[in-house]
Structure 1
Amino acid sequence: MMIRSLLVSLLLGVATASAGPVVTPGSKTLPLPGEAFQLNGHDAFVILPPDAKEGIPWVWYAPTLRGLPAKSEVWMFERFLAKGIAIAGVDVGESFGSPKGTELYTAFYNHLVKKRQFRKKPCLLARSRGGLMLYSWAVQHPQSVGGVAGIYPVCNIASYPGLGRAAGAYGLTAEQLKEELTKHNPIDRLKPLAKAGVPVFHIHGDSDKVVPLEANSAELAKRYRKFGGPVEIEVVKGQGHNMWEGWFRSQKLTDFAIARALGQPLESDKAAVRLPKPIAHWKLDDEGDVARDSAGTHHGKIVGAERAPGKVGKSLEFVRKEGDHVEIPYAEDFALSTFTVSAWVHLSREPTFSGILGTRHGGDHTFDMKVNAAKVHGDIGDGRSWIETAVNFYADDTGTNGEGGDLAVKRWYHIVYVIDSARQECRLYLDADLKKRIAFKGKPVLMTPANTMHFGHSSGTEFMDGMIDEVKIWNQALTSEQVQTEMTAAADTRDSK
């Protein structure tokens, strides 16, 4: 009799498992009209747009612990709904990205896709600890993710909640979790997601003490880029881990989630396609003593510098003590007050005001950019006086990729200066990562008729020891997305030794 009962129980268990998750009515309070239900005994919800039809795009929100989502999210949610996008989530408790939580997420995903005709690629929207939950699922299912948006998301178990607190959710001791951390930690498992090309966008405060920027979003961005994944982190100055309204009313985050849920190109994708043609482009590949401008007729004279392996093709190698440089004469289309200058730079020794580009030759108070110990430095002027002489980013201006102005020798860096007179600001980039915004007042000028432009020499004795490649000038202020596109356009990414 006992054997028969056991057999019946097993058969019923198989039948229940094959039938999928158990879905029953729920009572979760939602901030907008929607349906609350329970999935395998866990609170879940969907908030549908008007006239929802088969193939519903959706945003998957986490965490959805008791009381979440709340009124704070209404502004975002209303904009999703207006675009025909549903919002959904399931409460996996304090699972901290453990298998128990990801298994429930898989059941929830399958239920929505197979039973409710939701699309197969939602945009994941992770706030705080929701990062552990959603990223742990996403790295296992990269082909089922349209994008990942984050509001100060946890990406690193060691950072939050810490190994001691998280271990129980994994059925491990803290020591065991430490030994197996790379198997479970989202930040150590990003490669499949990056290789699938899943776009990521986070907003994160630089004063967050609960989920520190450096150990979470910034570290994720650094690793994600290493694997070739598209990622952008917007750092909010002075904000911590809080319910500040700006987190939930970020137009950029909302637009990102909408685009990824709908499977539409991001604004950054469009900007990449619309990268404008520079007014001058010196590839520095040609033999001889002429630096040819492939975008126009601004050809220059090479003084002393020799050809060397470059970031793309060949470069010019400059020796400081020899006074090596390139001279470019003035042209009317260089009389710019808004412009962008970019160059690839490879230092051969520790820098001491190593000039990249300067127009202060024959006159002064115009423009230069150079590298010094622990900073990348620039000056802008109006041709008569200086407007700003500390257009710098320093060693501690690490942005989102962890690298500041203290440049290492024998590796290539992409340096971009954007002088935006309309906004009265300079934007400084290192390897497409925005390091500094510097406000100014006035009307800067790139060159005046009295000036000559030099590469490898900014002014006075400020000559370069190292290589320079792919120097470009635009007559407009490039956006962050365009700077990213410009950097990735470099076909040869091998560091010269």
Structure 2
Amino acid sequence: MRVTNWRGYECIEFELDGKEGLVVLPKVFAEGRPWVWRAEFFDAFDNADMALLEKGFCRAYYRQNDRYGCPDAVEGMKKFQSYVTRMFGLAEKAIIAGLSRGGLYAFNYAAAYPDNVAVLYLDAPVLDIRSWPGGKGEGVGGEREWQECLTAYGITEEQSITAQVSPLNKVEAVAAARIPIILVAGDADDVVPYVENGLLLAERYRELGGTIETIIKKGIGHHPHGLEQPEPIVSFVIRQCIAPKM
């Protein structure tokens, strides 16, 4: 374990089961010691995460590249959460940010361990492995990533049709736990098409009575992620995690 300076904040770096983990501490913690856990791409398009750090939310990351939110990765995430909550006294429930393929990790984890998740922030999220990396719909897909994904899940392409392993197959579990979701996506995304991913989640989540706020960026593709002015994301997270419940 080593301590470094990251953008002016104290960062604790460590290994857990041979994988890189890190925790960035705020100057002063917000009430309840909340934390934002970026499932993938730790410091990419992270102005919302940084704004929350400035408001007293810890930031965390656990590197599980090329695992696509498979069951083994989800179990690794559970171990990571247990470790950092114990070691750093963080809130028992995390705000999980799932950007792009990080949506697979974030949502599958929330479905498996809903009591450990306070909020999901999904940004152009992958929610169906056949959409991406499979490319079996409107999206361009990725052949190398598709083979990695199938290997991670231990299934064949044919089995992927009925395997029920994607987040869109697990919406009921997350909705039943009443986990609030904020979803940001571009409506011109040809990598992770919104109509095959975020839109289906939003429709189903609302049907099930779940809280989901969508911010759709007109004419925007897969990049850039996030919002230039992240206040809507930040406000949603604070409202759900800190504001008094009526």
Scaled by the length of structure 1, what TM-score is found? 0.44
1:228 match: secondary structure? coil
2:14 match: secondary structure? strand
Q: How far does residue 252 in structure 1 lie from its aligned partner after superposition?
A: 0.5
User: Once the two structures are aligned, what percentage of the paired residues are identical?
Assistant: 30
2: distance between equivalents of 1:105 and 1:40? 11
2: distance between equivalents of 1:49 and 1:31? 11
Q: How far does residue 133 in structure 1 lie from its aligned partner after superposition?
A: 0.8
2:122 match: secondary structure? strand
2: distance between equivalents of 1:47 and 1:26? 10
| Alignment counterpart, residue 187 of structure 2, candidates 180, 188, 206 | 206
Alpha-carbon deviations, 1:173-218, whole Å to 9, x = none? Answer: 22223331x1x11111111211121111111111000011111110
| Alignment counterpart, residue 234 of structure 2, candidates 241, 248, 254 | 254
Q: Specify whether residues 81 and 26 from structure 1 end up closer, same or farther in structure 2 by C-alpha distance, changes over 3 A only.
A: closer
The amino acid of 2:169's aligned partner reads D
Q: Pairwise CA RMSD of aligned residues?
A: 2.4
Q: Specify whether residues 61 and 103 from structure 1 end up closer, same or farther in structure 2 by C-alpha distance, changes over 3 A only.
A: same
- How does 1:286-325 map onto structure 2 within 5 Å? none
2:26 match: secondary structure? coil
- How does 1:50-449 map onto structure 2 within 5 Å? 50-52=27-29, 55-64=32-41, 68-70=42-44, 72-73=45-46, 75-162=47-134, 164-165=146-147, 166-180=149-163, 182=164, 184-243=165-224, 247=227, 249-260=229-240, 262-264=241-243
Task: Give the corresponding residue for 1:36.
Answer: 13
1:149 match: secondary structure? strand
The answer to which structure, 1 or 2, has the higher relative contact order (CA under 8 A, 6+ apart) is 2
1:259 match: secondary structure? helix
The amino acid of 1:257's aligned partner reads V
Q: Specify whether residues 109 and 133 from structure 1 end up closer, same or farther in structure 2 by C-alpha distance, changes over 3 A only.
A: same
Q: How far does residue 32 in structure 1 lie from its aligned partner after superposition?
A: 5.4
Number of aligned positions between the proteins:
234
Structure 1 portions without partners, runs of 5+: 1-23, 271-497
2: distance between equivalents of 1:48 and 1:158? 37
1: distance between equivalents of 2:158 and 2:236? 39
The amino acid of 2:34's aligned partner reads P
* Structure possessing the higher radius of gyration over alpha carbons: 1
Q: How far does residue 92 in structure 1 lie from its aligned partner after superposition?
A: 1.0
1:139 match: secondary structure? helix
Q: How far does residue 60 in structure 1 lie from its aligned partner after superposition?
A: 1.1
Q: How far does residue 227 in structure 1 lie from its aligned partner after superposition?
A: 1.6
Scaled by the length of structure 2, what TM-score is found? 0.86
Q: Specify whether residues 95 and 248 from structure 1 end up closer, same or farther in structure 2 by C-alpha distance, changes over 3 A only.
A: farther
Alpha-carbon deviations, 1:358-380, whole Å to 9, x = none? Answer: xxxxxxxxxxxxxxxxxxxxxxx
Q: Specify whether residues 60 and 224 from structure 1 end up closer, same or farther in structure 2 by C-alpha distance, changes over 3 A only.
A: same
The amino acid of 1:256's aligned partner reads F
Q: Specify whether residues 125 and 255 from structure 1 end up closer, same or farther in structure 2 by C-alpha distance, changes over 3 A only.
A: same
The amino acid of 1:76's aligned partner reads A
Alpha-carbon deviations, 1:412-452, whole Å to 9, x = none? Answer: xxxxxxxxxxxxxxxxxxxxxxxxxxxxxxxxxxxxxxxxx
1: distance between equivalents of 2:182 and 2:28? 29
Q: How far does residue 129 in structure 1 lie from its aligned partner after superposition?
A: 0.7
The amino acid of 1:264's aligned partner reads A
